[in-house]
A and B are shown apart, each in its own frame.
Chain A
Amino acid sequence: MLKALRRYPSLNAWLLLAPATLWLMIFFIAPLFIVIAYGFLERGTYGGVIWEFNPGNFARVFDSLYLNTFFRSVYIAFLTTCFCLLIGYPLGYYIATRPPHKRNTLLLALMIPFWTNFLIRTYAWLTLLRTNTGLINVTLMNLGIIKDPLPTFGNDFAIVLGLVYGWLPDMVLPIFAALDRLDRSLLEAASDLYAPGRRVFRRVIWPLSLPGVIAGSMLVFIPSLGAFVTPAILGGGKSLMIGNVISNQFLAAHDWPFGSALSTLMMGLMLVATLIYFRSTAGAGRRK
């Protein structure tokens, strides 16, 4: 046995890998294929499926009702990514330009919300945004600035705000990392070659931080597209995203095949986004 191990080192590797592989094959890959397969089956009465081929589930996705939700989800995820970028880039830039000891503190301060429960951070906004009893409207009305509460809750605004808040650290960290890797002497070289600050940014800093921007955008876009908690809490039951529609198929409508079809399509969409990401980073790598 030992002799065999020494002669075939890859046998060693597979022995080490076997437990994790087995676990992931059974509890991750198998479920993945089951979901895809379920999308083509007939629904059972009380959940579950009847083993009959039914391609109609995927056709139903293209009903205007569900298609709208899909588009809205993509739109909300896109908006979230844009706002995260707008807020996150200067923030990453700010951290990267601080002196080292301050930078570490700021990074730690960024990590803490990152490690804090997402549900709780969403709930924090619930207490601020609720239309009649949220802190923002209550305070503004108490101060007499507004008479009627602002529409801060149960709409796309609240969802995007919650998502931006939730995923902002995921945008800032890769941007910071990209800016941190930037060689300071490159900036000095640009400035030595007569480029004023804004041109140093446009011609050197921005193009060189692009990999971080793209990575951050992916890290925000994908989970935003699959958001479940944020619309469930801040959407007030009115504003829904794909994640909520999918969960309704399982928890309320008991239409598992349709829920599976929706899940499959959502994952397909994310796969496309990921492929675009890898294509663009590979391109950036080639350009270097």
Chain B
Amino acid sequence: MRDEIGVELRDVVKRFDNVTAVDHVSLEVRDGEFFSLLGPSGCGKTTSLRMIAGFEMPTLGDIFIRGVPQGYLPAYKRPVNTVFQHYALFPHMTVEQNVAFGLEMSKVPKPDIARRVKEVLDLVHLTGMDRRRPKQLSGGQQQRVALARALVNHPKVLLLDEPLGALDLKLRKAMQVELKALQTRVGITFIYVTHDQEEALTMSDRIGVMDRGKLLQVGAPQEVYEAPQSRFVSDFIGDTNYLEGHLVAFRGEYCKVAVEPGMLLWANNTPDLHLDQQVTVAFRPEKIYLNAAEQEEMNTLSGVVHEVVYTGSNTTYHVELPNSTVLMVRQQNVATLPDTRFHTGDRVDVSWPIASSKAFAN
């Protein structure tokens, strides 16, 4: 992976009438990187993508592709290609005509077009489908045509707008693996928009999490998952337990939080917290041990098992604390011995490493 910058958004703002869809976003996507923009619907991720493609123009700010400012350059003059959410295949053209369209428009000689179309159809495993119409293809096949139609142009950057959203779960999983492999093979920068956190974690080199037009955090998947910098990010990616309390002390990178009634916890600091502030302590369900031996560097509380949810590879226990907050505790079903499992009504101690909990300002 080279460290050259593929796409840069510099302080980009997009307003529609009175709504700010993208709010001062600055972002650098490296060349050859698989970058995901992740967020709930309406967070501005698709608008950001559309501005890179040239379908929308930024209200303020600059977009650079390989260092070249794009300004109001229309889509057809930009060295990027898009895979659309619902594929946007031309219904009146065959697969071959669809894939050849971009090459035709950029006046590539005919024999080259034929060769490159064939190559790319082989690449996406659609050999022999060239005479079909989009309507005669399955969803997965249409998806591949859309991909081929974009890739055949050898774009500097490939933009993908929730391309797997319309596929069923099993096909989606298979395509995730295939897409990632394809990206590694062709070495093109992928900017991938999705609301599916699992998809983003699986495929990306880096993830940018967006909410209400703002880019909240950018980082590698494990960074974003393990060290979320805001409550929104920790909430959006994976399951999280929350306990609310107020900050009573600092010690190094940790802070001490008092949770009513009379529970004391340690958690990772976030910047700009101060004493006596109301804070939320967040920690992941899979980091919690049940009835573990007392240890240093652990928070320990006691509660009662409220509900047991068995999901095959995991069992999730809902444990009610004295202040009637319910914590989720996820345990892998490593062993099937009955005496290691807990039942509704059991009194249990829940404990988790201090390093795995994080305090956010309310």
Contacts and interface: CB of A to CB of B under 8 A. Distances in A.
A148 interface: no
A193 B92 contact: no
Interface in B135-193: 135, 149-150, 153
Contacts of B133: 287-288
A288 B88 contact: no
Given A199-B105, A207-B92, A192 B86 contact: no
B72 interface: no
Contacts of A207: 92
What class of interface size applies to chain A in its complex with B? 10 to 19
Given A186-B88, A191-B76, A192-B55, 9 more contacts: A188-B75, A189-B149, A192-B75, A192-B82, A193-B76, A193-B153, A194-B76, A195-B76, A288-B133
Given A189-B84, A203-B101, A288 B76 contact: no
Contacts of A189: 82, 84, 88-90, 149
Interface in A167-202: 183, 185-186, 188-196, 199
The 5 lowest CB-CB distance pairs between A and B, nearest first, are A193-B102, A185-B88, A189-B88, A194-B105, A191-B75
Interface string B80-102: 11101110111110000000011
B81 A192 contact: yes
A110 interface: no
Interface of B: 53-55, 74-77, 80-82, 84-86, 88-92, 101-102, 105-106, 133, 135, 149-150, 153
A188 B106 contact: no
Chain A interface secondary structure, helix, strand, loop or mixed?
helix
B90 A192 contact: no
A196 B90 contact: no
A288 B86 CA distance: 17
Nearest to A195: B105
Contacts of B55: 188, 191-192
Contact of A183 (B88, B105, B106, B153): B88
9 contacts: A186-B91, A191-B76, A192-B53, A192-B76, A192-B80, A192-B81, A193-B102, A194-B76, A194-B77
